[in-house]
C-alpha cells in the first residue's frame, strides 16, 4: 500500500543507515549442499530454496531480497532466470549481485549492472495508468547440481510502502527470514518519536499499522521492544500446481501489512464501502443521455420486469472488452474514443469492460425509475472474500441487484451472454460489499439452485442389418453450462473456419471415424426453454459401433468444466 506523508512544523534530524550494511551477505555452501542430488524433504523437486530473506525498512524507503537455490533437475535450471517486479516511477532496482556455484565449488559471478538489464513493462488488467516493470537477468553457467545465489535492493522515494510476504514459492523453502521496520509513528520508544504523519489516498490520517496473515501451524510473527517485526519459517511447501484445485491464492501462507486510517475492521469496511458507493453512484448517474437511451428501449406500458429485461438485452449486446479485445490508448485516440468515466461514455461508445457494462445497466435501471443497487464481489475463480484482510482491492467484479416488489433479483450484466436472472457461478455465493436502501453493508450473493443448471440428452439411432449404426444426438443445456458453451462458441466465432475442430476440443474424445456437429442456440433465441436460455449441441455419426467390441459409442458429458461447476 502506497501512502503519502505530511510533516508538522518541527526540526527533524534523520540518521541514515547505509543500505549496503543492511543487504544480505553471501554464504559459503556446506559440503552437503554442494553434493546434494535430491532432497528427502521435497522428493522429485526440480529445485529447492536453501535460504530466502526479505527485509523492509519503511523509514529508509528500502527493501532487500536474498535467495539461494539448489538446482536438482534439468527443469530446475529455469530458476537461473530471475524477474524482479516493481512499480515504475520513483522506484529503482539497485545493488544486484549474483553468482553460480558448481557442485565442485567453482564460482561463476554475475557480471551485470541494473541499468544493463532488460526492462519489461506491463499495464494493469483494467487498463489504468498504474504501470509495472520487471528487470530480468540470468545467472551464468548453470547446470544440474549448481547453487544459485543472488540479492538485490528495491529503493523508493517519497511515500511509504508496507510489505507483502509470500511465504510459499515455486520451490520448497528450507528456511526463510522476514523483517519489517514500519513507519516511525508505529515503532516503540522515545527514540522513534516523530512529527511525521501519514495520509491515505482519500486524505484521511493513517491511525494504525496492521497485518493479515495465513501461517503454518506453530509459526508466529514477533515484534521486539522497538516495534520491529520479524518472522522465521522452515520447511515451507511449494505453491501447489494441480488440475481442478480451488483458488489457491486464498490458502497460501502469506503476511500482508498495511497502514489504515480505521481503528477496527468494522470502521475500515464502513469507510471503504462509503467511498466505493460514492464512486459507483457517480459513474452510474442516470444522466439525460442515459434517460433518453432508456426511454428509447422500454415502452410506457411495460411492467418493471419487462423493462429490466429489455435494458439487460440492450447492454448485453454491447462489445464487452473483457471477452473480446480492449482497445489501447493509441487506438482509442485514433477512433476519437476515451476510457469510460461515466456510464454515458460506455453507451455512446457501444463498448466497455465488464465493470463498465454492469454499471451502465445500473444507470439504465435507475433512469427507467427502477430501484437497483450495485454489489462488488470476489471472483470465486480467483479467491474468497476475507473480511479480516483490510483491502478493498480483493473485490473483483460488479453484479447488479434489482429490487422488485420487496424481492432482490441478482443480475450479472457484465458477464457476456449471461441470461437474465442468472449469475455466473464465479459470482454466486461470493462475498463482498453491496449498496442497500439504508446505505451499505457486507454481503454474500445467493447460490444458484441446482435446478437452474440442467442438461438433457436425447438421440435417434438406427442400426442396419450389418450392425452399422447412424444416429443423431441432442444435448440441451440451461443455466451455467449453457452460458459456458455460448461463450466458447463466441470465442471461436460461430460459423468461422475451424470452429468444429476448436469447439470439439472441449468435448469428450470421439473415436476415430466418428463425427460431431455443433449447433448453438443463443440466449435470446425464440425457441428457448423458459428463462434459462438453453444451449443446443447435436452430434451426428455414420459409424457408432466400436470396432471389435460388442458395445456402442454414445457421446458423453461435454468436458471442460471445473468440478465446482458440476
pLDDT, one tens digit per residue, over 13-58 is 333 334 444 445 799 999 999 999 999 999 999 999 999 999 999 8
Name the percent of the chain lying above pLDDT 90. Answer: 47
> What is d(CA 566, CA 561) in angstroms, rounded to the nearest whole number?
7
Burial of 503 (0-12, 13-18, 19+ CB in 10 A): buried
Looking at residue 39, its pLDDT comes to: 96
E-only strand ranges, 208-318: 208-214, 222-223, 229-236, 254-260
Evaluate whether 114 touches 133 at the Cβ level (below 8 Å).
no
The answer on pLDDT for 63 being more than 80 is yes
Average confidence (pLDDT) over 467-483: 79
Of 507 and 460, more confident = 460
Pick the most confident of 207-216, 464-473, 514-523.
207-216
In this prediction, residue 557 has a pLDDT band, given cuts at 50, 70 and 90, of very low
Average confidence (pLDDT) over 281-301: 95
In this prediction, residue 451 has a pLDDT band, given cuts at 50, 70 and 90, of confident
Question: What predicted TM-score, i.e. pTM, was given to this entire model?
Answer: 0.75
A 10 A CB-CB count for 333 gives 11
C-alpha cell at 320: 464487452
Mean pLDDT in the chain? 80
Pick the most confident of 115-124, 176-185, 499-508.
176-185
> What is d(CA 348, CA 342) in angstroms, rounded to the nearest whole number?
10
Residue 100, SS3 per DSSP: strand
> What is d(CA 260, CA 266) in angstroms, rounded to the nearest whole number?
12
Please count the CA atoms within 13 angstroms of the CA of 292 that sit on its side-chain side.
6
Looking at residue 117, its pLDDT comes to: 67
Query: Which residues neighbour 489 within 8 Å (Cβ) at sequence distance 6 or greater?
Result: 499, 503, 518, 520
In this prediction, residue 564 has a pLDDT band, given cuts at 50, 70 and 90, of very low
Evaluate whether 490 touches 417 at the Cβ level (below 8 Å).
yes
Per-residue CA distances from 216 to 169, 234, 241, 246, 304 (Å): 14, 10, 19, 19, 53
Phi, psi (rounded to 5 degrees) for 239: -65, 125
Name the percent of the chain lying above pLDDT 70. Answer: 75
Range with lowest mean pLDDT among 251-265, 403-417, 448-462: 448-462
E-only strand ranges, 339-444: 351-352, 371-377, 397-404, 407-411, 431-436, 439-444
Looking at residue 235, its pLDDT comes to: 97
Looking at residue 483, its pLDDT comes to: 83
Q: CA-based angle 407:410:416, to the nearest 5?
A: 155
Average confidence (pLDDT) over 135-159: 91
Evaluate whether 90 touches 99 at the Cβ level (below 8 Å).
no
Of 133 and 437, more confident = 437
Of 68 and 159, more confident = 68
In this prediction, residue 201 has a pLDDT band, given cuts at 50, 70 and 90, of confident
**Nearest to residue 143, comparing CAs of 96, 97, 79, 49?**
79
Tell which phi-psi region holds residue 421, choosing left (phi > 0), alpha (psi between -120 and 50) or beta. left
Amino acid at each position: 500500500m502506497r501512502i503519502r506523508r505530511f510533516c508538522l512544523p518541527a526540526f527533524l534530524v534523520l540518521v541514515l543507515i547505509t543500505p549496503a550494511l543492511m543487504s544480505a551477505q553471501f554464504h559459503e555452501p556446506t559440503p552437503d549442499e554442494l553434493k546434494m542430488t535430491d532432497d528427502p524433504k521435497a522428493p522429485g523437486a526440480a529445485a529447492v530454496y536453501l535460504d530466502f530473506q526479505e527485509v523492509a525498512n519503511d523509514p529508509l524507503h528500502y527493501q532487500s531480497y536474498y535467495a539461494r537455490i539448489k538446482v536438482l533437475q534439468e527443469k530446475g535450471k529455469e530458476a537461473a532466470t530471475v524477474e524482479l517486479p516493481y512499480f515504475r516511477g520513483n522506484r529503482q532496482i539497485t545493488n544486484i549481485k549474483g553468482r553460480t556455484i558448481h557442485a565442485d565449488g567453482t564460482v561463476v559471478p554475475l557480471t551485470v549492472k541494473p541499468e544493463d538489464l532488460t526492462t519489461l513493462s506491463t499495464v494493469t488488467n483494467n487498463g489504468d495508468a498504474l504501470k509495472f516493470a520487471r528487470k530480468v537477468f540470468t545467472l551464468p553457467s548453470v547446470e544440474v547440481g549448481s547453487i544459485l545465489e543472488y540479492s538485490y535492493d528495491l529503493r523508493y522515494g517519497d511515500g511509504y510502502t508496507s510489505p507483502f510476504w509470500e511465504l510459499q514459492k515455486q520451490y520448497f523453502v528450507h528456511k526463510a527470514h522476514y523483517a519489517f521496520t514500519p513507519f516511525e509513528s508505529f515503532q516503540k520508544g522515545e527514540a522513534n518519536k516523530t512529527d511525521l504523519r501519514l495520509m491515505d489516498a482519500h486524505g484521511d490520517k493513517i491511525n494504525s499499522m496492521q497485518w493479515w496473515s495465513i501461517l503454518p501451524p506453530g509459526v508466529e510473527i514477533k515484534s521486539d521492544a522497538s516495534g520491529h517485526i520479524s518472522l522465521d519459517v522452515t520447511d515451507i511447501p511449494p505453491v501447489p500446481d494441480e488440475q481442478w484445485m480451488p483458488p489457491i491464492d486464498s490458502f497460501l501462507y502469506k503476511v500482508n501489512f498495511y497502514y489504515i486510517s480505521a481503528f477496527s475492521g468494522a470502521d475500515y469496511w464502513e469507510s471503504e464501502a462509503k467511498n466505493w458507493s460514492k464512486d459507483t453512484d457517480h459513474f452510474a448517474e442516470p444522466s439525460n443521455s442515459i434517460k433518453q437511451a432508456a426511454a428509447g428501449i422500454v415502452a410506457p406500458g411495460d411492467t418493471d420486469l419487462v423493462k429490466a429485461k429489455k435494458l439487460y438485452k440492450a447492454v448485453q449486446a454491447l462489445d464487452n472488452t473483457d471477452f473480446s479485445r480492449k482497445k489501447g490508448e493509441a487506438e482509442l485516440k485514433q477512433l476519437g474514443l476515451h476510457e469510460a468515466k461515466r456510464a454515458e461514455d460506455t453507451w455512446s461508445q457501444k463498448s466497455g469492460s465488464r465493470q463498465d457494462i454492469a454499471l451502465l445497466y445500473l444507470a439504465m435501471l435507475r433512469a427507467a425509475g427502477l430501484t437497483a443497487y450495485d454489489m462488488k464481489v470476489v471472483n470465486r475463480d480467483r479467491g474468497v472474500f476475507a473480511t479480516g484482510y483490510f483491502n478493498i482491492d480483493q473485490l473483483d467484479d460488479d453484479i447488479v441487484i434489482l429490487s422488485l416488489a420487496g424481492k432482490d433479483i441478482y443480475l450479472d450484466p457484465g458477464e457476456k451472454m449471461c441470461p437474465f436472472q442468472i449469475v455466473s457461478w464465479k459470482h454466486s455465493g461470493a462475498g463482498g460489499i453491496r449498496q442497500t436502501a439504508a446505505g451499505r453493508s457486507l454481503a454474500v450473493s445467493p447460490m444458484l439452485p441446482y435446478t437452474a443448471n440442467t442438461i438433457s440428452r436425447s438421440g435417434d439411432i438406427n442400426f442396419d442389418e450389418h450392425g452399422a449404426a447412424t444416429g443423431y444426438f441432442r444435448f440441451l443445456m440451461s443455466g451455467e453450462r449453457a452460458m459456458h458453451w455460448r461463450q466458447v462458441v463466441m470465442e471461436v466465432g460461430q460459423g468461422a473456419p475451424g470452429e468444429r475442430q476448436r469447439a470439439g476440443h472441449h468435448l469428450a474424445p470421439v473415436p476415430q471415424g466418428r463425427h460431431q456437429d455443433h449447433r448453438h442456440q443463443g440466449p435470446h433465441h425464440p425457441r428457448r426453454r423458459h428463462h434459462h436460455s438453453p444451449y443446443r449441441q447435436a452430434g451426428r455419426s455414420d459409424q457408432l459401433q466400436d470396432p471389435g467390441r460388442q458395445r456402442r459409442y454414445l457421446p458423453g458429458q461435454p468436458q471442460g468444466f471445473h468440478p465446482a461447476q458440476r
